[in-house]
Structure 1
Amino acid sequence: MERPSTSKSRGTCKYYKDPRGCFAGGKCKFKHAEPDVEALTPYDQAKTCRFYVQGYCKRGESCWFKHSLPKSTGSAAEDDEPEPCSICFDTPTTYGLLVSCSHVFCIKCIKEWRESARKNNEENMMKVTKQCPMCRAESKYVMPSSIPFRNGDSRKESALATYKESMAKVRCRHFERSKKDPTMTTFCPFGKDCFYQHLNDDGTPYIFADGVDVNMRA
């Protein structure tokens, strides 16, 4: 694994080749490798990724911190054991969690299913794409997650809130595109249900009266 660049370059530990070894062990913040070798420090390898614990790490398998939950979480950690996707049966790297049920999917599989369902059934696309393919529970959106949180788990609600907060900082591409097109009125197919940011030219929030149920049909 390539070690990503950081603001502080960490040199090679001068004790790791000593016959007595490095007394810092896993807490050493310097590399235990030759100077010209890119490697993680024992400190980095042992440190748990805080984004993974919160529910989602964008780096996935390329993250240089450890992706595991602290054992002190007790029975909850046991419930977070990797589960196969209900569509492809592989163990997901990133899960696609639905709001209204606990079925497990890869983020890629569930998005592809919802898109194919929409194309194959244009007349009832809102009804089809908003449902779980297993139990038909309604879910308007899919949340990426590193952990298969179950419904009723408070951590799922916390992860969802963090995800929404993060998305709200990004400008909506549909909204921005409509603002640049003089032939269109200001528009977003998801309306007030959209996670992304909608701002007027003066920087104030643009408020939609309707949500995805109305705007998507329009």
Structure 2
Amino acid sequence: MARIEVSGLTKHFGGVTAVDDVSFAVEPGSVTGFLGPNGAGKTTTLRMLLALVRPDGGGATIGGIEYADLAAPLEAVGAALESTGFHPGRTGLDHLRAYTAAAALPSSRAAAVLDLVGLGHARGRRVGGYSLGMRQRLALATALLGDPAALILDEPANGLDPQGIVWLRRFLTEYADAGRSVLVSSHVLTEMQQLVDRVIIVHRGRLVQQATLAELADAHGDLETAFFNLATEQEPRP
């Protein structure tokens, strides 16, 4: 099990505060939605959590350990923050084998995770010929290589067709049901309504709500209404 814990994360870019003292936790066995409008600080928070950006304050741990100190990071946490950055001339299988070699994982994991995400039929195709939805699946396959205890995904449904979205929803739910932690950042509220157990909402770099989906429903009726009500409360008054 790997509890994700963020404590007081803060990041400034010049005179702009992108993330302002944000704290939250993602519990094992749950799918948690990380929501907020564009520019709310979601991606910067995730990048600090994964040691891709140095925070100006606060910290974050996965299973009680900072990402940079993890002995086997791919086994602790799998992350997919974008579906770009693939070498277009490599096949999907070759892309994943490069990662298994670098992480000292069995090369057999490459074919196994391709089958797991429904790309087994395209393992020999060059990534340059993949659709956006296929690249999303390949990014997820990369995150799954170490069979991690936690998953961190940024807009994982982007580019997926309706059948793919249903598949992703089922996959992530089952992954969490096995006692793992899943953190999903998205702006597609209708999809999050059907996927998540808990919700973290940020706006203008600050945490505005952390609650279960049921608690938000009791207070606001549905996730979309809750999101807009809470965001409106944070807007400066004229």
Task: Please confirm whether the aligned pair reaches a TM-score higher than 0.5, indicating the same fold.
Answer: no
Which structure exhibits the higher relative contact order, with contacts defined as CA atoms closer than 8 Å and separated by 6 or more residues? 2
In proportion to residue count, which structure has more helix? Answer: 2
Give the TM-score of the pair, scaled to structure 1.
0.28
Considering only CA atoms, is the larger Rg found in Structure 1 or Structure 2?
A: 1
In proportion to residue count, which structure has more strand? Answer: 2
